[in-house]
Amino acid sequence: GNDSATTGSGGGSGDNTITMGFSQVGAESGWRTANTKSVQDSAKTAGIELKFSDAQQKQENQIKAIRSYIQQKVDVIAFSPVVESGWDTVLKEAQNAKIPVILTDRAVDSKDTSLYKTFLGSDFVEEGKKAGQWLVEEYKDSTDTVNIVELQGTTGSAPANDRKAGFAEVIGSDPKFKIIASQTGDFTRAKGKEVMEAFLKSNPDIDVLYAHNDDMGLGAIEAIEGAGKVPGKDIKIITVDAVKDGMQALADGKINFIVECSPLLGPQLMDLAKKVVAGEQVPARVVTEETTFTQEQAKEALPTRQY
Ligand code: GZL
């Protein structure tokens, strides 16, 4: 491992306090704000000095933030890459500056995995598969065509790519399932509503909506109700995240199934950061523990939901 002279610990307050530079995607969804709170609260609890930036979902802002953390000689850099590609150059700059990098939440598609010490986050393919499995089960006794519309997450992001792939893999087992429209809603309520309005105009017979996060699903519910249809009944809805507002809609019967994606990555992130700065070995991949919720389970879980 590096001795203190070369790990950029000059960025700390001079004593052995670890300084972390964190580049957050943005504040696009309930999930994201819960994730930010988890990171900030956990840094305080861990005694880690946190430099935090919000990139407003723009990759160039994340690259700028990472470069500024390198200039400030922080001890460790952590970030959630808004999209999978285009990180090798700035990650090489961090590597040359001997500043370890931790990926959290979303992944990068860099071939050189030495560019980061570990990736802490959910298995998004698995999340897509869980959504597909619920649908297969829900329609197991029907042979009619099932018309599905899909609201994808941010174009090029790992959760959008993988939730789409996992879902398609599972429903692809039966030709009755047809994805008749699929478009990005950029993980936001506003865009989810806008795209769902367009889907409703051009597709009179939609049976199911698969939204890559609760926020787009909640926006779509407004569009569905605006079109005089009943969400959860006329159009069944599957979403991912299980944030409070999504769980409330699930309990109210407007959503039919939610695949959890936990934003509470802060404690594990700070633990990994301490190990990485100390030069200890850490697993290359740490997968988040998470489950799924039906309408009944949402009613039970809501009172104690942390986010
Ligand atoms: C998933 C995370 C996604 C959430 C969305 O880990 O990257 O981004 O599912 C959020 O709600 O906007």
Average per-residue pLDDT for the chain: 95
Give the confidence band of 211 by pLDDT, cuts at 50, 70, 90.
Answer: very high
Write the single-letter amino acid at 93. Answer: E
The neighbouring-strand residues paired with 103 are 79, 119
59-69 residue pLDDT tens: 999 999 999 99
Q: Is the pLDDT of residue 39 over 50?
A: yes
**Total residue length of the chain:** 307
Q: Is the pLDDT of residue 6 over 50?
A: no
Q: Measured in angstroms, how far is the CA atom of residue 143 from the centroid of ligand 1?
A: 34
Q: Measured in angstroms, how far is the CA atom of residue 42 from the centroid of ligand 1?
A: 19
Q: Is the pLDDT of residue 295 over 50?
A: yes
Q: Identify which of 54, 57, 58, 241 to mutate to test ligand 1's pocket (most ligand atoms within 8 A of the CB).
A: 241
d(CA 188, CA 210): 14
236-269 residue pLDDT tens: 999 999 999 999 999 999 999 999 999 999 999 9
Q: In ligand 1, which atom is closest to the CA atom of 106?
A: 7
- pLDDT at position 5 is 45
- pLDDT at position 306 is 84
| Long-range CB contact pairs, 9-14, < 8 A, 24+ | 9/73, 9/75, 9/277, 10/73, 11/69, 11/72, 11/73, 11/74, 11/75, 12/49, 12/75, 13/49
Q: Measured in angstroms, how far is the CA atom of residue 128 from the centroid of ligand 1?
A: 13
The neighbouring-strand residues paired with 292 are 259
Q: Measured in angstroms, how far is the CA atom of residue 222 from the centroid of ligand 1?
A: 21
Q: Measured in angstroms, how far is the CA atom of residue 212 from the centroid of ligand 1?
A: 8
Q: Is the pLDDT of residue 228 over 60?
A: yes
Alpha carbon distances (Å) from 130 to 88, 135, 153, 251, 258? 32, 9, 17, 19, 9
Q: Measured in angstroms, how far is the CA atom of residue 15 from the centroid of ligand 1?
A: 36
154-165 residue pLDDT tens: 999 999 999 999
Q: Is the pLDDT of residue 30 over 70?
A: yes
Q: In ligand 1, which atom is closest to the CA atom of 28?
A: 12
Q: Measured in angstroms, how far is the CA atom of residue 32 from the centroid of ligand 1?
A: 6
Pocket of ligand 1 (CB under 6 A): 28-29, 31-32, 105-106, 121-122, 159, 187, 213, 215, 240-241, 261
Give the confidence band of 4 by pLDDT, cuts at 50, 70, 90.
Answer: very low
Alpha carbons within 13 A on the beta-carbon side of 46: 23
| C-alpha dihedral sign at 86, 214, 24, 191 | positive
Q: Identify which of 103, 108, 187 to mutate to test ligand 1's pocket (most ligand atoms within 8 A of the CB).
A: 187
Q: Identify which of 39, 213, 268 to mutate to test ligand 1's pocket (most ligand atoms within 8 A of the CB).
A: 213
Tell me the pTM: 0.94
- pLDDT at position 3 is 42
- pLDDT at position 13 is 52
- pLDDT at position 16 is 82
Q: What secondary structure letter does DSSP report for 184?
A: E
Q: What is the mean pLDDT of residues 261-283?
A: 98
Give the confidence band of 14 by pLDDT, cuts at 50, 70, 90.
Answer: low
Q: What is the mean pLDDT of residues 230-241?
A: 98
d(CA 91, CA 202): 43
Q: What is the mean pLDDT of residues 184-188?
A: 98
Using CA atoms of 278, 95, 102, 33 in order, give the dihedral in degrees to the nearest 10: 120
Q: Strands (DSSP E) along the chain, which ranges?
A: 19-24, 49-54, 76-79, 101-104, 118-121, 146-152, 177-184, 208-211, 236-241, 257-260, 285-287, 292-293
Q: Measured in angstroms, how far is the CA atom of residue 226 from the centroid of ligand 1?
A: 26
- pLDDT at position 48 is 98
Q: What is the mean pLDDT of residues 26-45?
A: 98
Q: In ligand 1, which atom is closest to the CA atom of 31?
A: 11
Give the confidence band of 106 by pLDDT, cuts at 50, 70, 90.
Answer: very high
